A and B are shown apart, each in its own frame.
Chain A
Amino acid sequence: MFLQTVITGLSIGGIYALMAVGYSLVFSVLNFSNFAHGAVIMLGAYVGLALATKLNLGFGLVLAGSVAGAGIIAVLNEKLAYSSLRGRKAPSLYLMISAMGCAVFLENLVYATIGSRFYAFPEFFGRQVVTLWGSSVSLLDGGAFLFALLAIFGLHLFIRRTRTGIAIRAGVCDMTMCSLMGVDLNRLIAVVFLLAGGFAGVAGVFLGVKYLVYPTMGWVTNKAYIAAVIGGLGSLPGALAGGLILGMVETFVSTYVSSVLRDVFSFTLLIAFLVWRPNGLMGIDSEDKV
């Protein structure tokens, strides 16, 4: 029972982490909470769904297509809704409100055009189950978890090792400085959104395969946002840790306390972290000077 709970927690946590990475990436560079991320994840799922059902593509191609689609959507989102705000150095709150507007807009646009129907992906993995130390793990959950770890690790390497990655890290430290040193800020930010969107695509497909595809499926990303806050907004290892912690905590609360209280508990955790530890467990200090 205990081990089963841990495993379920980890597998949910892996998906939370995958989604939380997108929040953290954007926050680390632009210092605002991009609530449109959930909508991008949802759109990524629909892109994947279209590829899988209309074109009958295999899982790998679906994933790739969804990553590309969501990445492009995220970049467009930035260009249309954030870049001019960024240009006139608007408060991060304005960016957040604009993001919220995007989320409401996209979600309801899908609702109004495609409809509120629930769609299922084709069965890519069947319902295969692996038995691990007496507890059962579905192949999908196990695969998703491993893939999430690998993807986040890959992103970590990208940011540490490549030129663009290093430029992003410099941008995190100081945007103005960065533009003075001749780094093309717009390109840099486009790359960041492309990455965040790519992760949204992956998360969308996994979510869609595990559950279903529907307009408000992005709502789960509220949880991913909580995970990002717990880990420390703007920190990639934090997003991973926060996702896993939240996944475990939620599973334990719903198994041993009550599944009703689970969401209340998570939101309380969000508020508690914002109030008492706004930089999360691993976040960098983002306090403004007086």
Chain B
Amino acid sequence: MDYILSIVTLACINMIAVLGLSIFTGFTGLFSFGHAAFVGVGAYTSAVLTYYYPVPFPLALAAGAAAAGAVSLVIGVPTLRAKLRSDYFAIAILGFGEALRVILENLGITNGARGLPGIDDHTTLPVVLLCLAGGVVVARNFLRSRWGVACVAVREDPVAAELSGVRIFRTRLLSLVVSAVFCGLSGGLLAHFLSFIQPVMFTLTQSTQLLAAVIAGGMGSITGPLIASFVFIALPEALRVAQMWRLVAYGLLLVLIMVYRPQGLMGYRELSSLWGKRAGPSAGRRP
């Protein structure tokens, strides 16, 4: 029972990060190979606060999320302002994530590559579920708001968006910061769930996993990536598949999706649109 609870908790923590990346990738149309770094920033910031200082857990979580958002500005401002080619942007953020990891490996306060053991385990399933539910509501509201609408417009056609009065740079930057905040929150929860964090937990491989969940779940969908992320974490965990075979599967999945179904499982749809309205707005798409 405990085992199942911990699997569900872990999966839900991951879902929060995927939710964030989904806003950035699925709804704003920018790809990132570096979002695990924001999870790492959130994890380390909150862990350091509760570990060395008597900071209450909720405050530490908030600080972790805020720190991730702030750090995302460092890479977001120069790269998004320069309007890089989309693949160059994904690579630039990859480089940023790797650089951040190297820094984490060499700081004293993070205890270097050996990792930080003995973090208080404040994270419980109810806390995680609360954060996840809150996150989904906030994400949905964001996507309906002026800014979320702008994000989707930028994804669909940057030129037309700009001529609808959307400020492209600001919109993309905001989307990045919002997604990083979600990742930071997820990191804070993760650190206080595992009680142990290490820089290698926040590398390119983890970024690729997050991206695989978003892409497999479906671009422009909230429910799709959430389902995918849950399955990605819970299924192999429940089947006790070794970590490397999971990664073999993620890698293969990424290739297969790109080759056969780049819009993903639930591309541009939500779970709610699958039942009920048959001839819904997105039915019968032309080639």
Judged by CB atoms under 8 Å, the answer to whether A and B touch is: yes
Residues of A within 8 A of B (CB): 32-33, 80-81, 84-85, 90-98, 100-109, 111-112, 222, 225-226, 229, 260, 263-264, 267-268, 270-271, 274-276, 278, 288, 290
Given contacts A267-B96, A290-B159, A33 and B87 within 8 Å (CB-CB): yes
Give the docked Cα–Cα distance between A95 and B85 (Å). 14
Given contacts A81-B259, A98-B255, A112-B245, A278 and B88 within 8 Å (CB-CB): yes
How far does the Cβ of A233 sit from chain B's closest Cβ, in whole Å? 9
Interface 1/0 per residue, B78-106 and A, CB below 8 Å: 11001011111111100110110011001
A101 touches B258 (CB 8 A): yes
A85 touches B98 (CB 8 A): no
Excluding A107-B247, A267-B99, A288-B85, 4 further A-B contacts by CB distance (< 8 Å) are: A97-B31, A108-B248, A263-B98, A275-B92
B91 touches A274 (CB 8 A): yes
A90 — which chain B residues lie within 8 A by C-beta?
258, 262
Report whether over half of chain A's contact residues are helix, strand or loop; otherwise say mixed.
Answer: helix
B55 — which chain A residues lie within 8 A by C-beta?
none
How far does the Cβ of A91 sit from chain B's closest Cβ, in whole Å? 7
Partner of A106, one of B92, B99, B251: B251
Give the docked Cα–Cα distance between A260 and B103 (Å). 8
B197 at interface (Cβ–Cβ under 8 A)?
Answer: no
A85 touches B102 (CB 8 A): no
Partner of A98, one of B85, B92, B205, B259: B259
B85 — which chain A residues lie within 8 A by C-beta?
278, 288
Given contacts A96-B87, A264-B102, A271 and B251 within 8 Å (CB-CB): no
Give the docked Cα–Cα distance between A274 and B88 (Å). 6
A32 touches B205 (CB 8 A): no
B86 — which chain A residues lie within 8 A by C-beta?
91, 93
Which B-chain residue is minimally distant from A108 (CB atoms)?
B247
Query: What are 17 sample pairs from A and B whose C-beta atoms fall under 8 A apart?
Result: A92-B87, A97-B31, A97-B258, A100-B33, A101-B208, A102-B255, A105-B248, A107-B251, A108-B247, A112-B248, A263-B99, A267-B98, A267-B99, A275-B79, A278-B84, A278-B85, A278-B88
Give the docked Cα–Cα distance between A151 and B255 (Å). 32
B248 — which chain A residues lie within 8 A by C-beta?
104-105, 108-109, 112
Q: Using a CB-CB cutoff of 8 Å, which residues 247-269 of chain B contact chain A?
A: 247-248, 250-255, 258-259, 262
B163 at interface (Cβ–Cβ under 8 A)?
Answer: no
Give the docked Cα–Cα distance between A222 and B91 (Å). 10
B212 — which chain A residues lie within 8 A by C-beta?
101
B132 at interface (Cβ–Cβ under 8 A)?
Answer: no
B131 at interface (Cβ–Cβ under 8 A)?
Answer: no
Which B-chain residue is minimally distant from A276 (CB atoms)?
B82
Which A-chain residue is minimally distant from B103 (CB atoms)?
A264
Given contacts A264-B99, A275-B84, A93 and B31 within 8 Å (CB-CB): yes
Give the docked Cα–Cα distance between A250 and B11 (Å). 40
Q: Which among B211, B245, B259 has the highest number of chain A CB atoms within 10 Å?
A: B259
A85 touches B91 (CB 8 A): no
B71 at interface (Cβ–Cβ under 8 A)?
Answer: no
Give the docked Cα–Cα distance between A104 and B243 (Å). 12
